[in-house]
Structure 1
Amino acid sequence: MKLHFSLAIASIVLLADWVSKRWVESTLDYGQQVAVTDFFNLVLAYNPGAAFSFLSDASGWQRWFLSAIALAASILIIYLLYKHSYNKLLCIALSLILGGALGNLWDRVTLGYVVDFLDFYLGDYHWPAFNIADSAIVVGACLLILDSIKTDRPPSSQPGSSNNS
């Protein structure tokens, strides 16, 4: 898959995440919940930490630490997209993760926290609120697992290839 196609996927995720977060912020007050179904609310929540609010109680250093990790991961992902362009599933997975990482990085750098708004629940148990960026990262991670169990190899390492040593 061409690098520009992978970056287009990441950009679509980034844009969808940014637009949805700005819409929720302009529509809801902090902490406000809007029931959508019997198991899903829209809610405006802020997460200064990582997944499941990990490090959210830290004194502020986590903002830049988590931003540095997201930036380093994004650079590594772009390299991997270039290096493994022959593997379409891997590139789609990495593109989704890249778009999600950049979406949350944008919030963290510009706001100091990540905007979350998707609230799924069962009875009184609520899954931690999340956003489109988080969803893209999870889907991308699942696709990475799927890619890791498939048996395809790069074209140059297929058995019988003239490029084998």
Structure 2
Amino acid sequence: MRALLIAAILAFALDQGTKYHALYVLDLDRVGVVQIWPPYLVYQMAWNTGVNFGLFGSDAATMRWVLVGLSAVISAWVIIWVRREKLGKLAHVAAGLLVGGALGNAVDRIYYGAVVDFLNMSCCGIQNPFSFNVADIFVFAGAIGLVLFSSAKKTP
């Protein structure tokens, strides 16, 4: 359980730190785009009111709070499931990444009304129109980790 907590705190802190840097150091919400390593990595500001890639996005306050609640419920369920199944340390780390990322995006919705997305990656002549953030990476990595490591139960 300790590994889950540490991973969640680190994922949350790294996510919020990168968003703070994008908004308040780079002033990305005003500037719009900062070329980091074009076209592979560009900071491109996007306020995401929906789920992934703005899916189900709306400016309605109801959707904002539904998504905050959904993040909290999923995070709680993942913690309970990992504890109940007595999974190994890698599964706990994966769960922590997922929970830290989900709560990072939930805090954005509470504080800003939308998720701060700013990372944009393109390659090989294909221009990606979507931005994402570090929390999205952690949620994805955590979900993949849970799939890979949930069968490795901790031995008594």
Structure 1 length-normalised TM: 0.82
Question: 1:56 Cα shift?
Answer: 1.4
Extract structure 1 runs of 4+ deviating beyond 4 A: none
Task: Tell me the amino acid that sits aligned with residue 141 of structure 1.
Answer: A
Identity of aligned residues (%): 28
Aligned to 2:73: 72
Question: 1:127 Cα shift?
Answer: 5.0
Contact 1:74 1:101 in 2 (8 A): yes
Contact 2:48 2:114 in 1 (8 A): yes
Aligned to 1:93: 94
C-alpha RMSD of the superposition = 1.9
Which ranges of structure 2 fall in alignment gaps of 5 or more residues? none
Determine which structure has greater relative contact order: mean sequence separation of CA pairs < 8 Å that are 6+ residues apart, divided by chain length. Answer: 2
Aligned to 1:134: 136
Moved more, 120-129 or 12-21: 120-129
Task: Tell me the amino acid that sits aligned with residue 56 of structure 1.
Answer: G
Aligned to 1:105: 106
Distance in 1 (CA, whole Å) between partners of 2:82 and 2:32 is 39
Aligned length: 152
Which ranges of structure 1 fall in alignment gaps of 5 or more residues? 157-165
Distance in 2 (CA, whole Å) between partners of 1:5 and 1:144 is 14
Distance in 1 (CA, whole Å) between partners of 2:147 and 2:153 is 15
Q: Structure 1, residues 3-62: CA drift from partner, whole Å, max 9, x if none?
A: 233111100110111111011001134261111123210122211111110111353321
Aligned to 2:35: 35
Question: 1:85 Cα shift?
Answer: 4.2
Contact 1:97 1:136 in 2 (8 A): yes
Task: Tell me the amino acid that sits aligned with residue 33 of structure 1.
Answer: V
Which has the higher Rg, Structure 1 or Structure 2? Answer: 1
Structure 1 SS opposite 2:50: coil
Aligned to 1:61: 62
Structure 2 length-normalised TM: 0.87
Aligned to 1:6: 4
